Amino acid sequence: MQNPEVFILAIESSCDDTAAAVLHNDKVLANVVANQLIHNQYGGVVPELASRAHQQNIVPVVDAALRKANIQKEQLSAIAFTQGPGLMGSLLVGGSFSKSMSAALEIPLIAVNHMHAHVLAHFIDEDGFDKPSFPFLALTISGGHTQIIRVDSFFDMTIIGETTDDAVGEAFDKSAKILRLPYPGGPLIDKYAQLGNPKAFAFTKPKVAGLDFSFSGLKTAILYFIQKQKLQNPDFITENLNDICASIQHTIIEILMDKIKLAVKETGIKQVAIGGGVSANSGIRAALKATEARYGWKTFIPKFEYTTDNAAMIGIVGYQKFLNQHFETASVVSKARIQF
Ligand code: KG4
Ligand code: ZN
């Protein structure tokens, strides 16, 4: 039986989004994210600026989440926060804030692994979204992570494949940078790709054993290809932008789908759940959906606001940990790298 009256305040500050959410059991009452636009002009996240922006954002973001949820802080059952992995200066802001608030309210403190949260985001109760059953495979794809995870229960997860260099979101963003598109370029590649021919240009796919990924070679291949083409035609990018984007996206999707198909074959598990910012990609969504009719897989894509970095996913892990009385003392430390 679920405890019907658990209210979790969740805080996420691992990278460049300051986020707070309030959950009532597994339902989200409020999910507030303050994006830090300051990084766009630098073409990537600047850790020191991120940490400073978290300090400015955290009080208003938590305040907004509580007001939106329409609950008083005295009603909270516990505070859950991202312990890691992430940028140390960013993690410390959310961690210190959560410790102080749990001490002031005299309620339990719950530490959450950000990567577990991307996986368990599928268990947020949301109309129109099915939850996977155990065991399932989770493909977590974002600007910071690329992992295939075998999930046997809420707390029994094993990484069975991951990137050996760049994350898939970085592959999108760095390719976009070569094409002189603004950061983050992933959504723009997706947009132009929809108007182009995915077979226009061929890029060699990396050969990596097993279920691991590599994306740095692809980025170099794209760079050399563009440099060569520009020698013959300085306007090559502008004249072929849609086709270039479609071809890059097609290659990235093939790399992802080859590995996830191998993971299904090796584990015999046909439920596949994707999460992370790159799961917004229209091509990846379509490729994954197509496996349902073609191979009899069941696939899961969470509501978009729970798939990019957010605090609701921290809250759902917090809720499960609360049910298991898995609490921390104020001596718990933030960790840039964290054991899975
Ligand atoms: O999960 P997220 O918001 O933050 C972390 O990196 O943890 O993911 C952001 C990444 C960026 O690399 C962005 O370019 C990529 O997700 N992204 C996309 C799309 N939307 C976001 N990549 C490809 N196609 C998209 N539609
Ligand atoms: Zn993330």
The Cα 327–Cα 330 span in angstroms is 10
Question: Residues 11, 17, 22, 27: what is their CA dihedral angle, to the nearest 10 degrees?
Answer: -120
The finding on whether 190 has its CB within 6 A of some atom of ligand 1 is yes
Sequence ranges of the binding site for Fe cation: 114, 118, 309
Least confident of 16-20, 65-69, 199-203: 16-20
Q: Could you tell me the pLDDT band of residue 6, with boundaries at 50, 70 and 90? A: very high
Please report how the helices 236-267 and 216-232 are oriented relative to each other, as an axis angle in degrees rounded to 10.
Answer: 160
Distance 185 CA to ligand 1 centre (A): 8
User: What is the average pLDDT score of the chain?
Assistant: 95
Strand 136-141's sheet: what is its strand order? Answer: 156-162, 146-153, 136-141, 271-275, 298-300
Per-residue pLDDT, averaged over 99-125, amounts to 97
The residue nearest atom 8 of ligand 1, judged by CA position, is 277
pLDDT of residue 1: 52
Neighbours of ion ligand 2 (CB under 5 A): 142, 309
DSSP-derived pairing of the beta strands 27-35 and 17-24:
antiparallel
- Backbone φ and ψ for 120, nearest 5 degrees, come out as -80, -5
Distance 186 CA to ligand 1 centre (A): 6
Distance between alpha carbon 182 and the CA centroid of its chain, in Å? 20
Distance 238 CA to ligand 2 centre (A): 32
Nearest listed ligand to the Cα of residue 307: 1
Sequence ranges of the binding site for substrate: 140-144, 173, 186, 190, 281
The residue nearest atom 2 of ligand 1, judged by CA position, is 277
Report the percentage of the chain scoring pLDDT > 70: 99
**pLDDT tens digits, one per residue of 220-272:** 999 999 999 999 999 999 999 999 999 999 999 999 999 999 999 999 999 99
The Cα 279–Cα 180 span in angstroms is 23
Question: Which atom number of ligand 1 is nearest to the Cα of residue 169?
Answer: 12
Q: Could you tell me the pLDDT band of residue 208, with boundaries at 50, 70 and 90? A: very high
Distance 308 CA to ligand 1 centre (A): 7
Per-residue pLDDT, averaged over 1-8, amounts to 77
Residue showing tokens 């759902």: 316
Q: Three-class SS of residue 81?
A: strand
Smallest CA-to-CA distance from 78 within 60, 93, 99, 57 is with 99
**pLDDT tens digits, one per residue of 264-304:** 999 999 999 999 999 999 999 999 999 999 999 999 999 98
pLDDT of residue 46: 85
pLDDT of residue 43: 73
Residue showing tokens 């964290």: 338
Please report how the helices 168-178 and 186-193 are oriented relative to each other, as an axis angle in degrees rounded to 10.
Answer: 70
Smallest CA-to-CA distance from 135 within 36, 40, 273 is with 273
Distance 172 CA to ligand 1 centre (A): 8
